[in-house]
């Protein structure tokens, strides 16, 4: 009970720690440790929060690499906006540009194979949201995020922009094919 009463002496600093107070400190510290180590554990085992490489880049630098990929691996063109559909080689670097208000180009990937997906924005902040998966990445001008993706299910996926980017934000939708 002495832990919750005022200290008996003015200078209590040198008093031995009361058992109740010591027990509370230990319990609180133990819980802090549990919460702290849950963070890296869940990052790994809970499949949350993609680890990504990040590089500084410029729109021109990235656009050059994206254009090179499009020039070499375009298989067809789709939509009214004439967006090229690119089928990149397995294991290669794949470049996806976010700009007002489209994703360029469209990608056709192979099931079970890995690719290094590079993402950047040309103008404002965009959000890469792969639907119906739970994969969401901020796409920021001046920075290039690289994520290793391995599609494990064939089908057609949607790429939405989930970071408000202006009047056409809701039209910033694309398709991702996995064959």
Number of residues this chain uses to bind another protein (CB under 8 A): 13
40 binds another protein (CB under 8 A): no
Among the listed residues 106, 122, 126, 144, the single contact to another protein using CB under 8 A: 144
Binding residue for another protein (CB under 8 A) from 10, 47, 82, 153? 10
Measure the CA–CA gap between 162 and 127, rounded to whole angstroms: 5
| Separation CA 34–CA 27 (nearest Å) | 11
User: Among candidates 117, 103, 105, which has minimal Cα distance to 151?
Assistant: 117
Within positions 55 to 84, which residues make up the interface with another protein, using CB under 8 A? 55-57, 61-62
Q: Which tokens in the block code for residue 46?
A: 């809970």
Return the number of the residue (55 or 164) whose C-beta is nearest another protein: 55
13 binds another protein (CB under 8 A): yes
Residue of 143, 147, 169, 175 that binds another protein (CB under 8 A) = 143
3-state secondary structure (DSSP) of residue 8: coil
Residue pair 178/155 in contact (Cβ under 8 Å)? The answer is yes
Vertex 102: Cα angle to 148 and 178 (nearest 5):
40
- Single out the segment in contact with another protein by CB under 8 A; choices: 4-12, 24-32, 97-105, 154-162: 4-12
User: Which residues partner with 83 through β-bridges?
Assistant: 78
- Nearer CB in complex with another protein: 95/101: 95
Give the binding site for another protein (CB under 8 A): 6, 10-13, 54-57, 61-62, 143-144
């Amino acid at each position: 009970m002495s832990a919750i009463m005022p200290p008996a002496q003015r200078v209590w600093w040198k008093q031995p720690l009361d058992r109740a107070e010591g027990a509370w400190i230990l319990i609180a510290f133990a819980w802090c440790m549990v919460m702290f180590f849950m963070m890296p554990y869940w990052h790994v085992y809970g499949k949350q929060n993609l680890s990504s490489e990040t590089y500084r880049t410029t729109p021109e630098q990235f656009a050059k690499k994206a254009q090179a990929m499009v020039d070499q691996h375009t298989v067809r063109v789709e939509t009214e906006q004439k967006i090229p559909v690119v089928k990149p080689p397995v294991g290669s670097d794949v470049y996806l540009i976010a700009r007002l208000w489209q994703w360029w180009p469209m990608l056709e990937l192979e099931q079970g194979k890995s690719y290094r997906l590079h993402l950047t924005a040309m103008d404002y902040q965009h959000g890469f949201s792969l639907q119906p998966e739970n994969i969401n990445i901020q796409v920021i001008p001046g920075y290039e995020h690289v994520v290793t993706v391995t599609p494990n299910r064939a089908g057609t996926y949607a790429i939405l922009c989930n970071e408000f980017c202006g009047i056409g934000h809701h039209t910033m939708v694309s398709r991702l094919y996995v064959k």
